[in-house]
A = this chain, B = another copy of it.
Amino acid sequence: MATLPTQNVYSKMRDMHWSPKERTIARRAFDRALHRELEATIREAKQKAERIKEPDELWGLERYLTRRRKEIDAKYEFKYSVLLLVLADLVREGGINLDQLHGLSEDKLRIVCDHAQSAA
C-alpha cells in the first residue's frame, strides 16, 4: 500500500472534517491510551520508590519522573491537525487497538494504518 509523502499528509489532515461521532471515537481512544500510560508510570514509580536504598536512587527517581512527564506531554497532543499521526504512533506501540478507531472515515483510517506501519 503506497504511503502519502509526509508533506501531503499534513496538508490533507489540516483539511479534514471531523464529525462529532469521529471526535468522540478519537477522544475516547486517546484518553484510554493516556490513562493506561499514566497508570503504568504510577506503578513503575511506586516500584522504584520501594526499592530505594541510597540517595542516588532517590535522585534517579526524580530524573525518571521528569523524563516520563516530558515524554507523555510530547506524545499526547490532542490537536486535530496532527491527531491521526498521534493515534498511529499509539497503534504502533500497542496503546490503541485499531478496533477502537472503528467508525472513523476510511481516509482517516488509511492515514493511521499507513503511518502505524511505516514508522515501525
Number of copies: 2
Give the shortest distance, in Å, between A32 (CB) and chain B (any CB): 14
* Band of interface residues on A: 10 to 19
Q: Could you list 13 examples of A-B contacts with CB < 8 Å? A: A38-B58, A42-B58, A45-B52, A46-B49, A46-B50, A46-B52, A49-B61, A58-B65, A59-B65, A61-B65, A62-B62, A62-B66, A66-B66
Interface of A is mostly: helix
A: residues with CB less than 8 A from B are: 38, 41-42, 45-46, 48-50, 52, 55, 58-59, 61-62, 65-66, 69
Chain B residues whose C-beta falls within 8 Å of the C-beta of A59 in the assembled complex: 65, 69
